[in-house]
Amino acid sequence: MSTKQWIAGINAVSAAVEHDADNVREVLIEAGAKNPRLVEIEAQARRKDIDVRRVATQALDGVVGNLRHQGVVARYAAAKTYSENDLQGLVEAAAGKALVLVLDGVQDPHNLGACLRSAAAAGATAVIFPKDKAVQVNATVRKTSAGAADSIPVIPATNLSRTLRDLQQMGVWIYGLAGEAETSFWSLDLRGNVALVLGGESDGLRRLTRENCDQLVKIPMPGGSDVESLNVSVASGVTLFEAVRQRG
């Protein structure tokens, strides 16, 4: 299934043109702009046979609304959208080393974008979050993720608890991050099929989410804080890259 949308901002458009040019339909650049990075994006897009148009600032504003576009937007056609039905195949393709990031109710699009960026950099198998009561992938998320939102499988789950149970049936061990947990995250073996579950900015993990984790763990905080006070995008980066470190 293909979807079309606009992505905005220098980092997001540059990443899309560089890493996924086949899905970039056209690039719009502010007429008269002298920013060297915009010139670079234009040249790169033309080298890859992507249509480029110089347009008025008002035209860019009309495409992305209030989102800060930095003088460049691109019309993007994502190659595939994912659902819970794709999870089995994604886990199986990971050959015993699935690394899944689960976000339980993240509300801030900048946080979600940063989490997706970390997940893509870590080579995560998928990122899962609820369809309801959580931010979805929008233009702000795409910009913040610098292209990662369209380069990694992102799965909005209709029922997050059921999806966690499905993952368990696939042989994925579910670790939930909670400040009151007794076990240190650093003591875990993260080399097999693993899902890391992080809560939203204000409430942490919901009750049903906690109950469907195999184990609750915490990131030790020598400064006296807990995981709920650690920004979710920071916590996702810390935990994902510990898995990367262990996997060598």
Question: In this predicted model, what pLDDT tens digit does every residue of 29-82 receive, in sequence order?
Answer: 999 888 999 999 999 999 999 999 999 999 998 888 777 899 999 988 765 678
Q: Report yes or no: 128 and 103 within 8 Å, Cβ to Cβ.
A: yes
pLDDT at 1 over 50: no
Q: Report yes or no: 200 and 115 within 8 Å, Cβ to Cβ.
A: no
Binding residues for S-adenosyl-L-methionine, as ranges, are: 199, 219, 230
Provide the pLDDT confidence category of residue 224 given band limits of 50, 70 and 90: low
Q: Mean of the pLDDT values across residues 162-191?
A: 96
Backbone phi, psi, residue 161, to 5°: -60, -40
Looking at the chain, the whole-number percentage of residues with pLDDT higher than 90 is 65
Q: 147-169: per-residue pLDDT in tens? A: 788 789 999 999 999 999 999 99
pLDDT of residue 98: 98
In the numeric block, the tokens 């915009």 are attached to: 38
> To 10 degrees, what angle do helices 10-19 and 36-47 make?
20
Q: Report yes or no: 227 and 243 within 8 Å, Cβ to Cβ.
A: no
Q: Which domains does the chain have, with CATH numbers?
A: 3-78 (3.30.1330.30), 84-247 (3.40.1280.10)
Residues in CB range of 43: below 8 A, 6 or more apart: none
- Note the pTM of the prediction, 2 decimals: 0.74
Binding residues, as ranges, are: 199, 219, 230
